[in-house]
Amino acid sequence: MQTHVYLSIAGENRIAIYTLDVSSGGIGFQENIAVSGSPGPLALSPCGNYLYAGLRSSREIASFRIDEESKHLSHLRTVQLDADTCYIATDKTGNFLLSAYYGAGKVTVHTIGDDKTVQGEPLQTIETDIHAHCIETDATNRFAFVPHTVPRNAIYQFQFDEKTGTLTQNPVGNLNPGAPIGPRHVLFHPNKPILYASNEQGSSVSAYTLEEGEHPGILMDLREDLSTLPADFDGDNTCAQIHIDPQGTFLYVSNRGHDSIAAFAIDAESGKLSVVGHQLTEPTPRVFNIDATGNLLFVGGQGSGKLATYRINRESGALAPIGNYTVGESPMWVLFV
């Protein structure tokens, strides 16, 4: 089956589609899909046949059908928002789209209709605080987590009803790190009750346990907090995205300032992290992603307009450069399909 790479090219109001040769790691340009605003976050439906795009400059969410063979995007519907969303994700059923709004300081839930398009008015809007940066449900689809960078410096916790699409504040409250580390993006280990967070201001990665006791699914005590920077680096830096390979073996975080991808190995038993190393990459590596095989990692350089491609060493987690491609002004999302 052919793999494709979708890139949000924010500075040129287009989604670029590339074909991928998984064996070599090489890509070839296929086509551009013009959109009405600068594309940012992309989300794939659980069935893999539909794509949702947050268009930040026009404050919209667009729904597309993905052609099964060519992976061409056919526009189905666009809905207007009252603010621009920086992160979107479907719940595990694919019936709802959850969005986080950095400037507006809120989250919304939209219904996804029978035609698989995002419907007009949001089902629910919850004001959180400034710098809401991400929203994800856990594997059970019963809880949702929303990290906020500094100044709020917190991970908001919600219960999620997958039948109604309703978010309610978790009774235990939000998680507030003691230091101003600024949790930005979160993700879950593929088969352990552990949540990992990239910390924008802290230039670090944190691991949290999801408790299964009296209050299941709640983030509890911090397990660890590791720097994403080499010990001899003393310049300015902020972290951006975080990704885990599908096997749950390695974790990566992007550094903006040091302009690198920090690599960590994940202990098979405990889920604890250990530093693998740092791969220097394109200027301002805000976005990156890992393919379904766990062998390839692609980085978009927001400052250079280039895509850097790497092969993951399956023994060590280290990154080996493959290629470098000029893709356009301000790549803002990388998605493998």
Output the domain CATH number for residue 139. Answer: 2.130.10.10
Q: What is the pLDDT of residue 213?
A: 67
Which residue segment(s) compose the domain that 138 sits in?
35-176
Task: Provide the whole-model pTM.
Answer: 0.96
Quickly count helices (H) and strands (E) in the chain. Answer: 0, 28
Beta-ladder partners of 307:
300, 325
CB atoms within 10 A of CB 175: 22
CB atoms within 10 A of CB 257: 15
Sheet with 319-326, edge to edge strand ranges: 287-290, 296-301, 306-312, 319-326
Model pLDDT for residues 54-106, shown as the tens digit of each residue: 999 999 999 999 999 999 999 999 999 999 999 999 999 999 999 999 999 99
- Mean pLDDT, consecutive 10-residue segments, the chain of 337 residues? 93 98 97 98 97 98 96 98 98 98 98 97 97 96 96 96 97 90 96 95 94 69 86 96 98 98 96 96 98 98 98 98 98 98
Token pair of 6 as six digits: 């979708």
Inside any domain, residue 166:
yes
Inside any domain, residue 80:
yes
Q: What is the pLDDT of residue 268?
A: 95
Inside any domain, residue 141:
yes
Q: Are strands 287-290 and 273-280 parallel, antiparallel or unpaired?
A: unpaired
Model pLDDT for residues 230-257, shown as the tens digit of each residue: 999 999 999 999 999 999 999 999 999 9
Q: What is the pLDDT of residue 226?
A: 96
Cα angle value 59/63/64 (rounded, 5°): 135
Inside any domain, residue 48:
yes
Inside any domain, residue 138:
yes
Inside any domain, residue 200:
no
Q: Are the C-beta atoms of residues 187 and 195 closer than 8 Å to each other?
A: yes
Q: What is the pLDDT of residue 3?
A: 95
Domain count, the chain: 1
Inside any domain, residue 264:
no
SS3 content of the chain, % helix, strand, coil (to 5): 0, 55, 45
